Amino acid sequence: MVNLNKIMKYFKHSKIPENILNRGQLVLKNYLKPIKILFEQKNVPTNPWTDEQIEFLLNVLSQMDTDKDMNASQVGEREARIASPLHLKISGGFCHGVGRSGFLTAPQPKAPGGSIMYEITNYLARDIMRNFGLPNIKAAIITPVATGMSLALALTALKPNRNKNDSNTKRTVLIPRLDHNSILKSIDFVGLYPKIVEGKLFGDAVRIPIEDIESGLNENCFAIVSFTSFFPPREADDVKAISKLAERKNLVHIVVNAYGVQSIEWMRLIRSAIDAGRVDAIIQSTDKNFLTPVGGALIASPHEETIEKISRAYPGRASASPVVNFLISILSLGIEGYNKLIKKQQKNRKLLEDLLYNFAKKINERVLDIFNPVAVAMSLQNLTQKKLFELGGALYNLRVTGPRVYDPNQKTFGNCIENYPIPYIVMNAAIGSTKKDIILAVERLEKAYFQINS
């Protein structure tokens, strides 16, 4: 097999002078060096890789899988045969998917390259979490399903074994109210039952007091799910207090940190929760935190065996694409790139608040006093129901995507509380958004506002 480190030697007697050959070898070496470092250290690179380098890695690894073996004779019913070369793109070349007999991280004999790829990716998942707020993490896995299904996966993996007499088995999950359908569906999906603790108003903010959570517990509860990132008026849970409660009551505790990696504050909450009590798993979206297409999640845990358990609970195999996407993101960003993104997010969040503050003053409204490092909410008390509805439509037509206009008289799901007193609009300055997004959004909000009021 060709040794790329020594291409030079094959052309020693060519017309190309040695110094030119040496230079070529040197440039190639620089190009390939990050791959070596990745293989050796299995850490997130400091600096971003180029797309060419990423593709080179994916290519080399996927060329290790047996579907690429032209000398093989393949007589299984599943051999990663493909109908079109286009499939290689969609899968990053990893046609065998991930998982084996329902054990996600089990090495696949037919996919040595795919197995290496997944192993490295999971190391990078752990490393990025350690670098950005959770040094107390022991293991992580990129699941090939998004946040909702990953919660289902974690819950079902960590549920208590069945009693002889199933009727006594604990099957209830305590949920500080969070109005997101996927969460509720996750719980139902795996045959569990939610017990929801209602939100309460604290000034503008909606929180679920730890006392209410504790008193909400009953004998059927085996787990609590707590939440960090969500949109106002709901604030993050007191994850630390919940972790202590979980420890005391011997409950599984899963933190849904959907898009929380971008925020130092939310990550600090989780870090202290791990240190103070019991956290079994922390689940985050790969698309919302790491700018991949939708489809994967990162589950991290302070306990290696918890990740192992979760990995073993998956029924069957799964697409490798969400895993490849995370790998691409992490390599194309590096520690440095992710740091930059976080810095930019912080600036944009500040800008969003400032702009909304100014606009609010102009129209006699106010920015709500709710802690949220990503989103900002502004009251819309001076708008009628009809106008609130029109405002949403006007923003859509002005191509502002993502804002939420709430009229709690109309729709309470989303407020995380019954009887939230005032209508409001929420906008996000999430990771990956641009200054232009923020400025345009507030400008257009202003335009829409005056439009519906004229």
124: amino acid identity, one letter: L
**Nearer CB in complex with a copy of itself: 121/243:** 121
Bridge partners (DSSP) listed for residue 139: 301
Please tell me whether residue 151 binds a copy of itself under the rule CB under 8 A: yes
Cβ atoms of 286 and 109 within 8 Å: the answer is no
Name the minimum Å distance from CB 70 to a copy of itself. 7
**Nearer CB in complex with a copy of itself: 45/277:** 45
Q: Rounded to an integer, what distance in angstroms lies between the CA atom of residue 342 and that of residue 55? A: 26
Please tell me whether residue 164 binds a copy of itself under the rule CB under 8 A: no
Contact with a copy of itself (CB under 8 A): which of 56, 357, 359, 389?
Answer: 56
**Nearer CB in complex with a copy of itself: 80/246:** 80
Q: Encoding tokens for residue 386?
A: 């009809």
Please tell me whether residue 20 binds a copy of itself under the rule CB under 8 A: yes
**Nearer CB in complex with a copy of itself: 273/341:** 341
Stretch that binds a copy of itself, among 25-33, 243-251, 358-366, 379-387 (CB under 8 A): 25-33
Q: Rounded to an integer, what distance in angstroms lies between the CA atom of residue 120 and that of residue 216? A: 41
Q: Tokens 């399903």 map to which residue?
A: 145
**Nearer CB in complex with a copy of itself: 22/215:** 22
Please tell me whether residue 255 binds a copy of itself under the rule CB under 8 A: no
Q: Encoding tokens for residue 377?
A: 């909410």
Please tell me whether residue 195 binds a copy of itself under the rule CB under 8 A: no
DSSP string, 232-279: TTBPPP-HHHHHHHHHHHT-EEEEE-TT-TT-HHHHHHHHHHHHHS--
**Nearer CB in complex with a copy of itself: 176/295:** 295
**C-alpha dist (Å) from residue 382 to 363, 424, 453:** 8, 10, 10
**Nearer CB in complex with a copy of itself: 100/240:** 100
Q: Rounded to an integer, what distance in angstroms lies between the CA atom of residue 451 and that of residue 339? A: 39
**Nearer CB in complex with a copy of itself: 10/371:** 10
Stretch that binds a copy of itself, among 96-104, 206-214, 233-241, 247-255 (CB under 8 A): 96-104
Query: How would you class 166 by CB atoms within 10 Å of its CB: exposed for 0-12, middle for 13-18, buried for 19 or more?
Result: exposed
Contact with a copy of itself (CB under 8 A): which of 127, 235, 237, 287?
Answer: 287
Please tell me whether residue 145 binds a copy of itself under the rule CB under 8 A: yes
Count the site residues for a copy of itself by CB under 8 A.
162
Please tell me whether residue 154 binds a copy of itself under the rule CB under 8 A: no
Kindly identify the residues of this chain, within the stretch 58-77, that bind a copy of itself according to CB under 8 A. 59-60, 63-66, 68-77
**C-alpha dist (Å) from residue 25 to 32, 49, 50:** 10, 19, 19
Q: Encoding tokens for residue 241?
A: 């207090």
Please tell me whether residue 27 binds a copy of itself under the rule CB under 8 A: yes
Contact with a copy of itself (CB under 8 A): which of 44, 94, 355, 416?
Answer: 94
Contact with a copy of itself (CB under 8 A): which of 44, 45, 91, 225?
Answer: 91
Name the minimum Å distance from CB 45 to a copy of itself. 13
Query: How would you class 429 by CB atoms within 10 Å of its CB: exposed for 0-12, middle for 13-18, buried for 19 or more?
Result: buried
Name the minimum Å distance from CB 401 to a copy of itself. 5
Name the minimum Å distance from CB 403 to a copy of itself. 6
Kindly identify the residues of this chain, within the stretch 263-282, that bind a copy of itself according to CB under 8 A. none
Contact with a copy of itself (CB under 8 A): which of 236, 367, 370, 441?
Answer: 441
Q: Rounded to an integer, what distance in angstroms lies between the CA atom of residue 356 and that of residue 397? A: 20
Is residue 100 helix, strand or coil?
A: strand
Q: Encoding tokens for residue 349?
A: 């969040």
Contact with a copy of itself (CB under 8 A): which of 46, 160, 193, 361?
Answer: 193
Stretch that binds a copy of itself, among 183-191, 211-219, 266-274, 360-368 (CB under 8 A): 183-191
Please tell me whether residue 347 binds a copy of itself under the rule CB under 8 A: no
**Residues written for the chain:** 454
Please tell me whether residue 13 binds a copy of itself under the rule CB under 8 A: no
Kindly identify the residues of this chain, within the stretch 419-438, that bind a copy of itself according to CB under 8 A. 427-433, 436-438
Handedness of CA 195, 189, 156, 125 (dihedral sign): negative
Kindly identify the residues of this chain, within the stretch 350-389, that bind a copy of itself according to CB under 8 A. 352, 374-375
Q: Tokens 């959004």 map to which residue?
A: 441
Q: Catalytic residue numbers? A: 78, 100-101, 108, 180, 258, 288, 317
**C-alpha dist (Å) from residue 354 to 242, 378, 379:** 33, 11, 15
* Contacts of 169 by beta carbon, 8 Å cutoff, 6+ apart: 160, 162, 163
DSSP annotation of 99 reads: -
